[in-house]
Structure 1
Amino acid sequence: MNIAKAIQVTFSNAAIVSSITSTIFIILLGFYLRKRNIFTEKYGKLLSKIVLTVALPALAFNSFMQPINGETFSQGMNVLIWGIAIYIILILVTPISYAKYPKDKRDVLAILTTFGSTTFFGIPIVGAVFGTKGIMYSSIFNIGYRIFLYSYAYIKMSGLKMKASNIKKMFVNPVVIATFLGLIMWLVQNYMPQVAVRQAVNGVINPGAPIIKVAFYRIDQTAIWLYKPLQYLANLASPLAWLSIGATLGSTSFKKAAENKTSWYYSFNKVVLVPLLNLVILVILNVTNILPISYVALGTIIIMMATPTAAVASSYAISFDREAVLSSNASFVSTILAVVAMPFWIAFLGVLSQSGLFH
């Protein structure tokens, strides 16, 4: 299939187009509501807190409520391996792109480039484009992200040794708990006591559905009364996250942030070059069969890496007075650029799906 045909197929796909428009329209709505003062300054933080403590944990946990087979297990493990390897690569590579800056500024920009808003910005978009399988892969991918964010990034930004309180943050976190709990349950489900149930699809059981055997804790099949409330909470993640992003953008002066050329240079590295680096390496690893990866896993990783500054990394910069103003400006500009660039990445991934390189 030629490029023109692939592009036509991509933009005639209602799921892809609606994912792009949903993201943009709801972010713009949040921006408008903030500019009109319908949302006050505190709304963005309040919405993000709801997303991080309620909606995303439910989303992460429910994403593992699906059967395991050889392919999904293999893909999940490959995503986990790459999720650790890519942060080691970025930690080594990103300082090179800021070699002209003083050491302190170079270190901060390298950290901000390495760690994006994969949880808050990335996962809702992954869910909209790739569904539950994409969310599951994104949750697995984030394991490496959180290991390095709460260890290496903290040590580098603070200049101190790792504190016990920060190790606690790494694990005592609703999203992390839901991810590890869901991952363990997904991995061992075939070894747990099985029950026979009539198969449910999206929480609905049809009278003529086949009888299947699943682990007793597969609540999507055995306890729909519990699965559905979690699904309702999970469904809040995307719209609330996008409203919060829009409200946050509406609270900041774009003119002041845009005056800093370093913020634009950083944002281009973060939103364009980092996902492009992932794409090139993963294509090579897939073609050479060193690390075979599916299209859904690839698309999930690229979207996760095309995200703006991580809130935690930005908080480190502010808390430890490490280029706090630059960090805030970079966070704002990279969010704007990510909103603009994400539709292009999603469209490009759609074209790539027609290439035959990935299954």
Structure 2
Amino acid sequence: MEVSVIIESVISLFIIILVGVYGSKKKIITAETNKKLVDILIQIALPFMIVSSFIYTYDPTIKSNVIKTFYYCILAYILMILISHLLLLPVKSDRKIILHFANVFVNTGYVGFPILNSIYGAEGVIYGSIFNMFFVILVWTYGLILFKGNFDKKELKEELKKILLNPSIIAVCVGIMIMIFDIQLPGALISSVEAIGNITGPLSMIIIGVILADVKIKKYLRDWTIYYGVATKLIIIPAIIYLISLLIGDSSKAINTVVIMSAMPASAMTSILAESFDKKKEYAAVVVSVTTLLSLITVTILLKIIM
């Protein structure tokens, strides 16, 4: 079951990417239009997707595992950051920023959730939502600092204010309130939130397709950092995290979910932020696309080992 879901998810991603390529080639989506699509994605679609990920019915057992998932997620992100930093020491300049971001921030929403749902059902999605919560917090703090660089004291204060008021961070806070107080939302509101959130995946892939339309693939076939980065992201880091999970001695759905999510391909945000900050945007689009394609093999192998 899980293998077919992985295949379908990956194929679906690339079909939507091809739509973006088509839109760019036919001048339907220009560079200026693509920048506006990025704004719609980050400011509107993504926050709604985050809120919708918290709208579930929580029983006492799941609530207990959710707490464990918090600790496992923190450990996983610390490990991903440290391992990635060490492994990428040979890589220089903006390529290192792109690869490090790709290693730490994975495709939770559009690939991770369907796979978790096929294996563990709604319970897996709940644990995945916790992982996604840390993703959101870190992407707009640590991830933003990676792309923007160091801030002076005044600038840092302003950036922190922007981060706290970021729609995605606000969405996380709303989601946590829904979870803690078990708030029951009206059916019409839930449907609207989910409908808007559901455009996040397709929209992000279309944006990547537009960027890829102008990518000279041959230029990257001789770039060793692509091969090294992909191996680091899809094989080395997930393998280390899985081995550590064995040492912990917990084989629960909570820890397995964290291991599975850490093995997902690079997040579309890798390409989106590269586009926003004009840092190797073609390189970033290639990294996202290649890791997504090859995850068809690597995630399937991981699932066979875990299951």
Deviates further, 88-97 or 58-67: 88-97
* CA gap 1:281/1:37 in 2 versus in 1, 3 angstroms: farther
User: Given residue 95 of structure 1, which amino acid in structure 2 is its aligned partner?
Assistant: H
Counterparts of 2:127 and 2:296, CA distance in 1: 20
Query: By how many angstroms is 1:27 displaced?
Result: 1.9
Work out the percentage of aligned pairs sharing the same amino acid: 20
Match of 2:263 in 1: 302
2:301 equivalent among 320, 330, 348: 348
User: Can you give the 5+ residue segments of structure 1 that lack an aligned partner in the other structure?
Assistant: 1-8, 190-216, 319-323
Moved over 6 A (4+): 117-120
Match of 1:165 in 2: 158
Structure 1 residue matching 2:181: 3-state secondary structure: helix
Equivalent residues in 2 for 1:1-359, closer than 5 Å: 10-11=2-3, 13=4, 15-100=5-90, 105=92, 111-116=97-102, 121-131=107-117, 136-151=126-141, 158-161=149-152, 163-189=156-182, 217-219=183-185, 223-285=186-248, 288-289=249-250, 293=254, 295-303=256-264, 306-307=266-267, 310-311=270-271, 314=274, 324=279, 327-328=280-281, 330-352=283-305, 355=307
**Residue 295 of structure 1: how far off its partner (Å):** 4.3
Q: Deviation digits for residues 161-196 of structure 1, max 9, x if unmatched? A: 56012212332122221122111221232xxxxxxx
- Give the deviation of 1:41 after TM superposition: 2.5
Distance apart, 1:51 and its partner CA: 2.6
The normalised TM-score by structure 2 is: 0.78
CA change 1:160–1:227 in 2 (3 A) is closer
Distance 1:119 1:48 in 2: 18
Alpha carbons 1:76, 1:140 under 8 Å: kept: yes
> Which amino acid in the other structure matches residue 79 of structure 1?
T
CA RMSD of aligned residues (A): 3.5
Contact 1:34 1:40 in 2 (8 A): yes
Q: Displacement of 1:59 after TM fit?
A: 1.8
Aligned partners of 2:58 and 2:266: how far apart in 1? 28
Distance in 2 (CA, whole Å) between partners of 1:40 and 1:234 is 24
* Greater relative contact order, per chain length (Cα 8 Å cut-off, separation 6+): 2
Give the number of the structure whose residues are more often helix, by fraction: 2
Aligned counterparts of 1:186 and 1:348: Cα–Cα separation in 2 = 33
Alpha carbons 1:23, 1:242 under 8 Å: kept: yes
